[in-house]
Structure 1
Amino acid sequence: MLGKYVLVQYVLVQYVLVQYVLVQYVPGPFVAGEGRGRGGRNVSRKERNVAEPDLGTLSSRLLSAVEGELFARLHELGFGDLKPRHGAVLAYLEGAGIRATDVARRSGVHKQVIGTLIDELTDLGYVERQNDPADRRAKLVCPTERGRAQMAAADEIMAGMQARHERRLGRDVYAEFKRVFADVVDHQRRAADARQ
Structure 2
Amino acid sequence: MKEQFLDLSKNRRSIYALGRNVSQTPDEIVNLIEENIKWAPTAFNNQTTRAIILFGENHEKLWDIVADRLKSEVPSEEAYQKTLQKLNSFKAAFGSVLFFTDTNVVHEFENNFALYADNFADWAEQAQGNAQFSVWTSLAENGIGANLQHYNPLIDDLVKDAFNVPDGWRLRAQLNFGSIEAPAGEKEFMNDADRFRVLK
Higher relative contact order (CA 8 A, sep 6+): 2
Q: Which protein is richer in helix relative to its size?
A: 1
Q: Which protein is richer in strand relative to its size?
A: 2
TM-score, normalization by structure 1: 0.28
Determine which structure has more spread, i.e. the larger CA radius of gyration: 1
TM-score, normalization by structure 2: 0.27
